[in-house]
Structure 1
């Protein structure tokens, strides 16, 4: 098992399946330019080798989230900055439908800010 698979394996169900589905959608959204790497022990997604977003867990909110680079340039009511300068997070509520369209549109918006 590679380190990225190990990261997801340590997460309990049903969160694991939800995050693996989200991971798959992100990677499939741009198979030529989006890659995945493990940085700081977290799954990071990169666009043309530059930071795009990553997945993590918020102890404060008790929820997993996706964090978007260039979040300071994103404007959406569901995004939280919580004192971060370059990132904004979108909490993933496991009891609700995953907002795939919103996530993919935010990823596309971040891609526009990457040179």
Structure 2
């Protein structure tokens, strides 16, 4: 079993199911997105450049999507905390995933790479 698969399987429910759903949503966004384990967490890369990742917030115990170039986003649902570059989108495990919002932010993040705002 690959380390990446093992990461997902080690998660407790409902976080495991949320992460699997997010994996599917993100990977279906663009054929050039790859998925790998970096720094012990699942990262999604566009043409080899990291653009988002999945993790669980230690304080809130909620899963989240981390947007690597979050500094370019102004949406109120993205949280910066003490990060200079990244912002996160917390997800409530007790509610349905906001799929439209997730797809929108992933597409916006990809656009940064595709338009050259972020160098590939």
Give TM class, smaller chain.
over 0.9
Give matches, 1:18-97, under 5 Å: 18-30=18-30, 32-97=31-96
Unpaired runs of at least 5, structure 1: none
SS in 1 for 2:97: coil
1:8 aligns with 2:8: yes
Q: Which runs of 4+ in 1 moved over 6 A?
A: none
TM-score of the superposition, structure 1-length normalised? 0.94
Unpaired runs of at least 5, structure 2: none
Alpha-carbon separation, structure 2, partners of 1:76 and 1:52: 17
TM-score of the superposition, structure 2-length normalised? 0.90
Alpha-carbon separation, structure 2, partners of 1:7 and 1:58: 16
Aligned-residue offset at 1:25 = 1.1
Render the CA deviation track for 1:2-38: whole Å, top value 9, x for unaligned.
Answer: 11110011101122112101111110111x2100011
Aligned length: 114
